[in-house]
Amino acid sequence: MAKRPLEVLQRSIDSHIIIRLKDGTEYTGLLAETDNYMNMILSDAKEMHNGELVARFGEIFIRGNNILYIKPDNAIL
């Protein structure tokens, strides 16, 4: 039972999520892959600073140890 938050994250694959990093940067996109380190691959991703669009990425690999939180974009986590 002690691994359940990560299992919930696994079930979020193919959902739209928002990732906030420790430095405040946010990435939104479709969660394509994730693992137990919270490494994530987002597709059709955007980078946002203070709510403003900074960049678009077809795909981006985000290293898990930089992540502060993850939330569903407009869907179930």
Enumerate residues 54-73 that contact a copy of itself by CB under 8 A: 57-72
**Cβ 53 to a copy of itself, closest distance in Å?**
16
Provide the Cα torsion 55, 58, 63, 68; round to 10°.
50
Three-class secondary structure of residue 63 per DSSP: coil
User: 19: closest CA among 7, 6, 31?
Assistant: 31
The answer to whether residue 30 forms part of the interface with a copy of itself (CB under 8 A) is no
Tokens representing residue 12 in the block? 């979020």
Number of residues that bind a copy of itself (CB under 8 A): 39
Task: Please report whether residue 51 would count as binding a copy of itself according to CB under 8 A.
Answer: no
Using CB under 8 A as the criterion, which residues of the chain lie in contact with a copy of itself when the complex forms? 1-6, 8-10, 21-23, 27, 33-36, 38-41, 57-72, 76-77
